[in-house]
Structure 1
């Protein structure tokens, strides 16, 4: 009997050793630029095994760490056709196997077209947008359960709800969708925003499945729209499956233990910064529940790179928005970004660089001359124009212009475009999921809303809208993030107001929507706005005038004149001042009202209003 128990014990122990709990990435593709793939096999004492693979596939390297539950196996897939392989794990006389697939890529996957200045991006919080499948509101595998009565709780929005309302987003004039992270976030509370991810290869079951995410991409593409993933390189959530069993001690930044970031991103390039301040910014944790990833660890960097490429290939993505980009190890994140754009040369990535100075923001855009001073290149194609956002949040309440108040703030923002390597690839916005809501700041003043939306729709760059702004939604940042991330009315069965449909909107909501839809639908076909040059004029009497125009050598000469009157009173502007751009054009047709304006002598514009004039001969 003792002998039987001993044998049974040995068998159980071996079975435990043989168990593979995770394989990441779960599969790969043939004909990839990133052909050397580092596979993580995770299981109890997995590193004790010898590892071989079938079909002549080359294992380039096997790396073990201080944690025996991990083994990092690098395979070389160059010139290897799509097929299935079998890894064999052997420990003495005992062995077990693990299948692994190399799949075929989509045709022309490498050269996929990404988002650019021809697009309008619609940003949503998926949990707060629409509940298309109430059955997945809570999950037995995740901690936080749905409860709409809790402002910062899970409310049940999901991928099915997004798909259900894609035609609404298209009708608005948006051409690309940016949902905040959809991967699993298993925090006990406030998990709805998704930035504390617990599994970066798995869609949160309260949103749906990986297959449903593929369906979302497919449905967007059927409508000629693009899917932008919100990617987080700086941190995971403390419920991430690796956190309690780290592959290496330095997988995350430890001091030892926890230290919070000082949030002083200027230390990344400040020549006078102390080493401790620089370290605390870059290595400190964003918040206690978000372990800070160490991108200077090659294993971590490789993991993040492969995961990002995996999602692009798997879900047929069209772009990334990268959260807290400038908090990462800047050398590591520049390598991550380059690896992705090497794999996909046309792929656009916009990074969140929340700073309030154009020189500091431009440091982070690819090929920045400011970064080049210290031989740094972020390789990041796009950054977010936070200084324009800052101006938009104040300027429309400044009725009386002065040297530095009123529309001069907007003018001065574009004065500094010379700092950016590519100002046409900046993300322009009036608000997002982290800022005060525009309609709250301006108390739902429709005229001010019109001026702000006209501005971001017609200046250089890529406009981004925040869900609900187009129907006048507001929310007070002072009451907490949940108040600026309210449920979209009509997204849940039983909502008394359904703003997804014309018949369900209030008169006020319809007024906002009609304006927004007409403006951004017009922008879709306005090539001169997408790629034209800008000439602007110093504001006078709080009136800002600028032109978007093509070169005379272009096949179709097109000029658009934008007039934004931030003065409460009606203004008359003399057209002679703008002869440089008006040239021989005789009239301008206002794109939203179809009203014609004679350009011979002067133009009248109502107080607190905007005009978009397509110039005609």
Structure 2
């Protein structure tokens, strides 16, 4: 009988062992010192929990699901150490779980983030380069590698990124934004990474958590930065927790699924109905992406700690946040503030895909528009989608008019007064969700030059999309997302064309790359572009002229969007050129006398450093 009881006790202990601990460890000397640790295991909530080493348990929270328990510990003024959680029943220890507080990197809290001095290079990791073919079809995930399938897994990985970082440096990029690298175990179309199934684990088809840490280290060796694409709004339907929710309202349920109406204006519309507002925020982005409930404190703590854990663990330099304005707006502001409180210099850009500057400005930190409703998102940066809208059409408008051609760019910047900090806006011609620029403009090199010149020289943080710098195109409208996310040529063994190398590029690829490299490399050292003031002039004859200037230097940018050569007098720009005699074009090294008329070819640019 005694043996049977011992066996039963031993069996119970085995079944109650902890299956998951999240976060898996923490750090001493963090501002976020009350850490809420989630323990997951079969019927784990039945146990009493204590700790060793005088570690203070602030609270223990259980939910209707007995497989979860949330334990908050107080790490304030506690040195880095290992300690033990004991799980007891009837005053007898059934099992234990080790936990660690680690030592932070020196000056970790004051890490420098990305800003207007950077050029961000956006990639789809699965489509960039396959550095390790052995991980293409990891046994732990459902979808295996199949490069023949446009929407399948093609095998790009972290190792492939690392092997081509020198290419990015040569291009002039200073920061890398990969789309999400965490595990996405959907049966198909998992390559984009936005339906995450484990947010503490790098997808094994990309590599390991250690490989991700190595990516940051390799970027930092080159003076470059690592930006994580973070998703707060939703997970994938294959997320391990969705299969066994901690609590019914961990996700938004109606019950079950309800589609978002995508009308983000309901977040601030004073005339909006309550049901429309709810369906925007609480509705699911797509049926395969359960919508997270940030108004649940357990969810908000979980997301906040996960974000900080990745920053600290992988030595990250910034975030881009997917579908930012679909979140519960009060919850996401608390999430954002907690991160920037922990890291005061940390930049976060939110995807606020709207088409009106006032509506986008609402979401930037310290917005006067948001303040009307006593709202502050604490979000440092938003994406300049109205500029993107203009770029997507204006270079095909040869004849400038009241609302066509370069006036679209001018009018975009006239609304900068709406933003608390326009210099922190992300400026871009395209991204992984939009039509490819070179598809819209049929690989017209002159139009590419105009667009890249614009985003490289206006206020804000320029972002470029992988492959456009070698002329890559792709038709989203006809062939879907996979066509704008094609494999980078040369990223796979056996590729006939290797655009990563000078010798491997075609003449057309070299033309695009050489221009891009010259432009973005020049930009690296030009503080007048990073932080200078802007003065622009109403376009005439579809020619847009603006100056970036400070007390020490000035750059004059001329974009002629007319197909015809134009000559213009310089006396109109006296307020910006009065103390200068000449300007040297950084692209051609040609000098221009500022006292004379300036001639510019059709569909071309001048970037003049004034002397």
Mark yes or no: TM-score above 0.5.
Answer: yes
Q: Deviations over 1:162-190 (max 9, x none)?
A: 00000000000000000000000000000
**1:447 corresponding residue in structure 2:** 446
1:87 paired with 2:85, answer: yes
**Counterpart of 1:59?**
57
1:415-564 equivalences in 2 (<5 Å): 415-478=414-477, 479-550=479-550, 552=551, 557-564=552-559
For residues 134 and 14 of structure 1, what CA distance do their matches in structure 2 show?
41
CA deviations over 1:121-155 (Å, ceiling 9, x no partner): 00000000000000001111100000000000000
2:595 to 593, 600, 611: 600
Say yes or no: does 1:584 pair with 2:579: yes
* 2:288 paired with 1:278: no
Q: How far is 1:498 from its partner?
A: 0.3
CA offsets 1:301-346 (integer angstroms, 9 cap, x no match)? 0000000000000000000000000000000000000000000000
SS in 2 for 1:502: coil
Q: 1:13: Cα distance to partner? A: 3.3
Q: Distance in 1 between matches of 2:493 and 2:13?
A: 52
1:347 to 2:346 alignment: yes
- In the alignment, which residue of structure 2 is the partner of 1:294? 293
Matches within 5 A, 1:251-330: 251-330=250-329
Q: What pairs with 1:149-168 in structure 2 (closer than 5 Å)?
A: 149-168=148-167
Following TM superposition, by how much is the alpha carbon of 1:601 offset from its aligned partner in structure 2, in angstroms?
2.2
Distance 1:536 1:579 in 2: 12
Instruction: Give CA deviations for 1:189-247 in whole Å, capped at 9, x if unaligned.
Output: 00000000000000000000000000000000000000000000000000111001000
Q: Which residue of 1 aligns with 2:32?
A: 34
1:472-496 alpha-carbon deviations (Å, 9 max, x no partner) = 0000011100000000000000000
Shift in Å, 1:91: 1.2
Q: Following TM superposition, by how much is the alpha carbon of 1:583 offset from its aligned partner in structure 2, in angstroms?
A: 1.1
How far is the alpha carbon of 1:11 from its aligned partner?
A: 3.6
- Superposed CA offset, 1:399-418 (max 9, x none): 01111011001000000000
Range that drifts further, 512-521 or 591-600: 591-600
- 3-state SS of the aligned residue for 2:415? helix
Q: Deviations over 1:500-529 (max 9, x none)?
A: 001100000000000000000000011100
Aligned pairs (5 A) from 1:344-423: 344-423=343-422
* Contact 2:13 2:94 (C-alpha < 8 Å) held by counterparts: no
Partners of 1:419 and 1:583 in 2: CA distance = 30
**Structure 2 unaligned blocks of 5 or more:** none
User: Aligned equivalents of 2:425 and 2:562: distance in 1?
Assistant: 28
| Aligned residues of 2:13 and 2:95 also touching (Cα < 8 A) | no
- Give the Cα–Cα distance (whole angstroms) in 1 for the partners of residues 316 and 5 of structure 2: 53
Secondary structure in structure 2 of the residue aligned to 1:278: helix
- For 2:115 and 2:10, locate their aligned partners in 1 and report how far apart those are by CA, in whole Å: 58
1:231 aligned partner: 230
SS in 2 for 1:391: helix
Distance 1:8 1:201 in 2: 35
Q: State the secondary structure of the residue aligned to 1:303.
A: helix
- Long gaps (5+) in structure 1: none
Q: CA deviation at 1:592?
A: 1.1
Q: Distance in 2 between matches of 1:534 and 1:415?
A: 11
Matches within 5 A, 1:123-272: 123-272=122-271
- Distance of 1:6 and 1:298 partners within structure 2: 41
Partner of residue 338, structure 1: 337
Q: Distance in 2 between matches of 1:22 and 1:112?
A: 30
**Structure-1-length-normalised TM-score:** 0.98
CA deviations 1:365-401 (Å, max 9, x no partner) are 0000000000000000000000000000000000011
SS at match of 2:288: coil
1:109 match? 108
Partners of 2:420 and 2:354 in 1: CA distance: 17
Structure 1 residue 159: Cα displacement: 0.2
The one-character-per-residue Cα deviations of 1:557-614 (angstroms, maximum 9, x if unpaired) are 1000000000000000100000010112110000111110111021000000000000
Partner of 2:607: 612
Q: Which residue in 2 is equivalent to 1:571?
A: 566
CA–CA distance in 2 between the matches of 1:129 and 1:369? Answer: 41
Count residues in correspondence. Answer: 609
RMSD, aligned α-carbons: 1.0
